[in-house]
Amino acid sequence: MKSKNKAILYVIICVILWALIPVVSKLGQVDLDNHQFLFWSSLVSFLALLTSTLVTKKAKFFQKYNLKDWVKAVLLGFTGTYLYYILLYFGYANAQGIEILVLQYSWPIFIVLLSRLILNEKLNSKKILSLLFGFLGVILVLTKGNITQIHLDNYYIDILVLLAGLTFAIFSVYSKKVHLEPYTMTTIYFLTATIASFISMFWFSNFVFPTTQTLIPILVNGLLVNGFSYIFWVKALKESEASFIAPFVFLTPILGALYLIMFFHEPMLPVYIIGLVAVIAGGLLNK
C-alpha cells in the first residue's frame, strides 16, 4: 500500500506539470514552429537534468552503464521524448485540436493493454471500469459536453496521433523494465531528444533563437513539463503496476482546462465538474 501511495503522489505531480502543456505550447509557439520549440525545450531539459545529476552526485552511474544499457536508454529516449512529440505536434498542425486531444489520451489505455502483454500485469474489471470512467471524463472536458465536435475523418493524421500514443505507452512500459538510475536515465532520454530534434529542425525547418516572448514558456516546458516530470513518471512506474497508475493520467486535461481558465480567462463550465467527478470515480475504482 505504501508503494501505491508513493506511485499516486508521483503521478499526481506529473499530472500537475503535464497539465501546463496547453499553456506553454500556446505561448511558446508564437514565434517558433513545432520543430524549433521541441529542440529548445529538449535542450533545456537535458541541461537541467545533467546539472541535477552532477549536483546529486549520480553522474557516477554513467560509468557503470554498459553498451546495452546505453542502447536501451537511447532507444527509449528517442521513442518517448522525441518521436511522441513530433507525431503529436504534426497532428496539432494538421487537424482539429479537439480531435487530436481526444486521440492523444489513448496512451493510458495503451499502457494498460501493453502492461498485460509485456509486463504480465493482471487486467481486471476494476481497471477496465477505471479506464472507461477516466476516458469518459476526458471526452466530456475536451468537447465541453458536445461530443459531436469529434470528427475522426482525417484518417492518416488520426493514425499518426494514435501511433504517438502507442509510442509513449511503449516508452512507459519498457522504462519500467529498464533498471537504471532515474536521473541519469532521463538525462540520456533528453540528450537523445536534443540531438534528434536538432537534426529534424534543420531538415524540416531552420535554426532560430527564441525571443524574449517565448523564452519563459520554453524554460517552463523544458524544466518542468518535459524535464523533471519524467523523473517522477519513471519513479511512479517503479513503485507500482503501470496499469494501476495509467488511469490517474486522465486528470491531466481536466487540470489543463482549469489552467486555461486561470491564465486565459476561459469560462468555467459545469461539464468540467462532471468530467472531474468521472475521472476521480475511475481513480477510486482503481485503488
Quick: pLDDT tens for 29-42: 778 887 888 899 99
d(CA 160, CA 26): 21
Q: What is the pLDDT of residue 160?
A: 84
> Is 222:44 a contact under the CB 8 Å cutoff?
yes
Q: What is the pLDDT of residue 77?
A: 93
d(CA 87, CA 105): 14
Number of domains observed in the structure of the chain: 1
Q: Which of 256, 181, 201 is nearest to 225 (CA)?
A: 256
Q: Which domain holds residue 243?
A: 2-286
Q: Which of 92, 86, 107 is nearest to 196 (CA)?
A: 86
> Residue ranges of the chain with pLDDT lower than 50?
none
The 8-class DSSP code of residue 138 comes to H
> Is 243:90 a contact under the CB 8 Å cutoff?
no
> Is 20:225 a contact under the CB 8 Å cutoff?
yes
Q: What is the pLDDT of residue 264?
A: 64
The model's pTM is 0.83
